[in-house]
């Protein structure tokens, strides 16, 4: 593993993180822009700051990506394999971004890793960790507990929580409207919009923190995996003093700490991606799927952030896209079922279902092509 290849992995990983900003960070600020609580420039600044806070908060998800999905004893995790995995995810992200579909960068990365690992192992499915129980239900490893099951349950949780929060707020405002003056005026649209316009800044901040805590860590895991592998093989032994920060030592449990510089660089790269191209996704989530007011945005962001933060604490790489989209659907249904534009939802669901297999297939083909081209 040469230093050049290691640095190429880092570069491609940061490109993926930049593309992630097109997709997933845009999701975290879509509702606050759609409700006109913040303008796009203000929302991007808020997303950048809160994503950085979230990215520095924990590393459980990064460790899942770096050591919980691929069995390194079955397939050698080379820089070439990681580059193909990242390219598979990036290509699919760009395709869905062009279509304006909020697909999952998280699942694209998982799909890319699985497809690349399967190709690198010569179609040996043992290269993928399917279900490896831990001492407790929350510390197991594998695709089933960390990816597949959460892929089904976390959007459902976002939908139900959005429905419950929005339904509760509607009932509370209705009750306030039945009270005598001057309390009754607190339930009028003007006051409600003003109050939740301010409250939505807090919920949007929570959304940004949850995104940094989960999504930003996935690329951190890839970079840390590449640097730890290069360190263990001795490829970084003769680095000059000013590059010693690239070395990452592994402990006896095959785990390692994510360096602070990796966290900061990933978070800032994601913010730049948001500023550059996130508005296609924002239009789909914030305008096309359902009409949002500040109270709706608050309910959706609060619900989605709660689910993502809970998942992140257990090292589960859930999709910000799926959760905020599902929460918006739940909020829309709480208003009335026909408030949702179901044709837009149908297109999104197809993107969700295709993400892992298509990104995996692209990465698989790339690994095979590299193997043949450089044989």
pLDDT band at 94 (very low <50, low <70, confident <90, very high): confident
- How high is the pLDDT of residue 28? 67
Q: Which of 317, 255, 267, 365 is nearest to 110 (CA)?
A: 317
Predicted confidence (pLDDT) at residue 27 exceeds the cutoff of 90: no
Element (H, E) at 368: helix 342-373
Predicted confidence (pLDDT) at residue 269 exceeds the cutoff of 70: yes
Predicted confidence (pLDDT) at residue 280 exceeds the cutoff of 70: no
List the structure tokens of 58: 């924990």
pTM score: 0.84
Average model confidence (pLDDT) across the chain? 83
pLDDT band at 279 (very low <50, low <70, confident <90, very high): low
Q: What are phi and psi of 293, to 5 degrees?
A: -115, 165
The answer to whether the CB of 27 falls within 8 A of the CB of 325 is: yes
pLDDT in tens, 130-177: 988 776 666 678 898 888 888 888 889 999 999 999 999 999 999 998
Measured at the alpha carbon of residue 106, what is the angle toward residues 228 and 293, in degrees to the nearest 5?
140
- How high is the pLDDT of residue 352? 78
Predicted confidence (pLDDT) at residue 215 exceeds the cutoff of 70: yes
Predicted confidence (pLDDT) at residue 286 exceeds the cutoff of 60: no
Q: Which of 208, 205, 326, 342 is nearest to 274 (CA)?
A: 208
List the structure tokens of 133: 């129980």
């Amino acid at each position: 593993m040469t230093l050049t290849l290691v640095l190429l992995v880092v570069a491609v990983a940061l490109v993926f993180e930049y593309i992630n900003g097109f997709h997933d960070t845009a999701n975290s600020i879509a509702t606050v822009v759609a409700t006109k609580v913040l303008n796009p420039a203000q929302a991007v600044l808020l997303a950048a700051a809160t994503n950085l806070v979230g990215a520095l908060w924990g590393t459980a998800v990064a460790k899942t990506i770096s050591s919980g999905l691929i069995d390194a004893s079955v397939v050698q995790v080379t820089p070439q394999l990681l580059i193909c995995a990242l390219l598979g995810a990036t290509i699919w992200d760009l395709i869905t971004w062009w279509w304006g579909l909020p697909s999952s960068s998280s699942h694209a990365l998982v799909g890319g890793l699985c497809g690349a690992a399967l190709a690198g192992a010569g179609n040996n499915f043992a290269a993928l960790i399917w279900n490896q129980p831990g001492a407790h239900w929350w510390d197991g490893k594998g695709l089933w507990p960390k990816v597949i099951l959460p892929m089904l349950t976390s959007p459902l949780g976002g939908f139900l929580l959005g429905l419950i929060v929005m339904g509760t707020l509607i009932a509370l405002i209705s009750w306030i409207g039945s009270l005598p003056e001057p309390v009754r005026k607190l339930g009028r649209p003007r006051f409600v919009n003003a109050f939740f316009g301010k409250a939505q800044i807090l919920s949007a901040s929570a959304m940004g923190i949850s995104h940094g805590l989960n999504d930003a860590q996935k690329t951190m895991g890839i970079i840390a995996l590449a640097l730890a592998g290069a360190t263990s093989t001795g490829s970084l032994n003769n680095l000059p003093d000013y590059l010693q920060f690239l070395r990452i030592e592994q402990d006896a449990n095959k785990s390692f700490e994510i360096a602070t510089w990796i966290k900061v660089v990933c978070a800032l790269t994601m913010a730049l991606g948001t500023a550059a191209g996130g508005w296609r996704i924002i239009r789909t989530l914030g305008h096309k799927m359902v009409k949002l007011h500040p109270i709706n945005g608050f309910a959706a962001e609060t619900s989605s952030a709660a689910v993502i933060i809970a998942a992140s604490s257990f090292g589960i790489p859930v999709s910000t896209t799926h959760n905020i989209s599902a929460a918006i659907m739940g909020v829309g249904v709480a208003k009335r079922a026909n408030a949702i534009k179901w044709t837009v939802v149908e297109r999104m669901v197809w993107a969700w279902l295709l993400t892992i297999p298509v990104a995996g297939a692209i990465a698989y083909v790339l690994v095979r092509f590299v193997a043949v081209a450089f044989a």
